[in-house]
Structure 1
Amino acid sequence: MMYSKQESSVNETLLREHYMKADKVMLAIMSLLFTISFAIAPLYNSWVEAMFIGGGTFGTALLIRHFAPGALVTRLFIGTAFMIMTSLHIQQAHGMLEFHFSVFVLIALLLYYRDWAPVLAAAATIATHHLSFFYLQSGGVNVWVLPSTELGISVIFLHAAYVVIESAVIVWMSIDLKKEFLASIELSTTTRAIVKEDKIDLSI
């Protein structure tokens, strides 16, 4: 029993270390997304959106990660923040369809966490954005999700279908990869326990 508790503690420590490493990778990607928002800004003079929405999202992510490195709340926010940045780029480009591709790219990159939670957070965020902004844009509000609402809500549902399929696969892969990660940790821990101080203890 003592060994089991010790093993569990080692697993949690190494998994948290991986999450902290992944946080840094995701923040680096987010800094790139923030930079891209300024590259897009000249298209329709969206400097204010780039500064406040992009900067606010990136700054909040940095703050949360500082106070909760490797924590679930950080992973959830980064998944959400990825989609906020994507939504910003879509808005800045007045709904240009090519900017919707980043939804699929960024959700795939979240696989590095080996955790399904940020993937679902991202999928829920972008689904809420697309549906709400489509109805706002259709009502004449100065927001953009498509180049024109004449394309119809069927385009939104098509995008949603692809997001659901990709997210389902990524969730399954993340669960499987986490199991493999924990199994490798357990194997390493068991090996070290068997071969300890130049002695072999097969009772373990």
Structure 2
Amino acid sequence: MTHNDKSMLAAFGALLLAAIAYGAQNAGIGVPLLVGGGLLALGWAVAALGRSEGLSRVALPVLGMAMVALLIHAARGHAESHFAVFAFLACTVIYRHWLPVVAAAATIAVHHLSFNYFQQWGWGPICFTEPSLGKVLEHAAYVVAEAVLLVLLAERARKEFATGEVLASMAERLVRADGSVDFSALHLQTDDERAQKLLSALKQIERSIGEVRLSAESIGNAAQEIAVGNSDLSQRTEQGASALQQTASSMVQISSTVRQTADSARTADQLAHSAATVAQRGGAVVAQVVSTMEDINTSSKKIADIIGT
């Protein structure tokens, strides 16, 4: 039993209660209870045993209008009771199909036409307080007008419901259980214009996401290259710093060597001065020795001369 069939059976129950209430005010509740109970049971059987709405969406509107006919009969044809026709006819839109509306309208048209004559002939069924073919045609005109509008509404509701089903299916396929988006729903085939527009928009979004993904990958690659370059630069900077440190150390060593060389030069200069002084002193001594030797030579010559003489 579908949700739509349950709604129709609820309308059956409301009509039955109204028929019993009218019957209690007029000829009694026997006929409403007997006939109304039978119609309700038959409607429940159709809804429960039907495997789809193919049967119930035609049978239930027909049985429902029979229940409306019972209500009108129990109300002795009062004009207010005929509003039930329009109320129940509107209920048939719940199937979102034109067939239940047409079936219900045709049923009540047959009822009014036949029961009008049955009442005129005195057969017992009541449709109007005063039977008249003019009233039948007048009521039929209202029913036809409402039926046309309801058919349009039913078809529009059917299309919108179909669109909703497609969109719901797309939403279920778009979002996975883990919350991620699956664009495989974009390959869904549909003739619905609005669903096609949504699919077109989603495809554009998918393309945009693809472009963003490519841009992100390019940025990632560039960032990786920059990171590698930074690593190389860091290594080179470390190497340069190490070389500078070594150069500084070498400069310190050179400076120390220069200072040592300067000290050695000063020491050598002092030694050279000392050697020069010693040499000068040695020269003076040699000069004195030479002078002494000359004096000795002169003295020797004098001694020889003396001895020779």
Instruction: Say which structure, 1 or 2, has more relative contact order (CA 8 Å, 6+ apart).
Output: 1
In structure 1, what is the equivalent of residue 168 of structure 2?
A: 188
In structure 2, what is the equivalent of residue 105 of structure 1?
A: 87
Query: How is 1:18-37 mapped onto 2 (pairs within 5 angstroms)?
Result: 20-37=2-19
Question: Which of 137, 141, 151 is matched with 1:171 structurally?
Answer: 151
Using the TM superposition, give the Cα deviation of residue 196 of structure 1 relative to its aligned residue in structure 2, in angstroms: 4.0
Using the TM superposition, give the Cα deviation of residue 193 of structure 1 relative to its aligned residue in structure 2, in angstroms: 2.8
SS of the aligned residue for 2:160 comes to helix
Q: Which structure 1 segments of 5+ residues have no match?
A: 1-18
Q: Which has the larger radius of gyration?
A: 2
Of 128-137 and 66-75, deviating more is 66-75
Of 66-75 and 52-61, deviating more is 66-75
Using the TM superposition, give the Cα deviation of residue 67 of structure 1 relative to its aligned residue in structure 2, in angstroms: 0.7
In structure 1, give the amino acid aligned to 2:107.
T
Using the TM superposition, give the Cα deviation of residue 73 of structure 1 relative to its aligned residue in structure 2, in angstroms: 1.0
Q: How many residues align?
A: 184
Identity across the alignment (%): 30
In structure 1, give the amino acid aligned to 2:125.
V
Residue-by-residue CA offset, 1:9-58 (whole Å, 9 max, x unaligned): xxxxxxxxxx8111111111211211222212223333231122101100
TM-score by length of 2: 0.56
Distance change (3 Å), C-alpha of 1:21 and 1:69: farther
In structure 2, what is the equivalent of residue 39 of structure 1?
A: 21
Residue-by-residue CA offset, 1:107-148 (whole Å, 9 max, x unaligned): 112212212211111111100010011111112222211101
In structure 1, give the amino acid aligned to 2:167.
L
1:153 aligns with 2:133: yes
In structure 1, give the amino acid aligned to 2:162.
L
- Structure 1 runs of 4+ off > 3 angstroms? 194-197
1:76 aligns with 2:76: no
More helix by share: 2
Q: Which structure 2 segments of 5+ residues have no match?
A: 188-309
Of 79-88 and 41-50, deviating more is 41-50
Asked whether the equivalents of residues 23 and 69 of structure 1 are also in contact (C-alpha less than 8 Å), the reply is no
SS of the aligned residue for 2:2 comes to helix
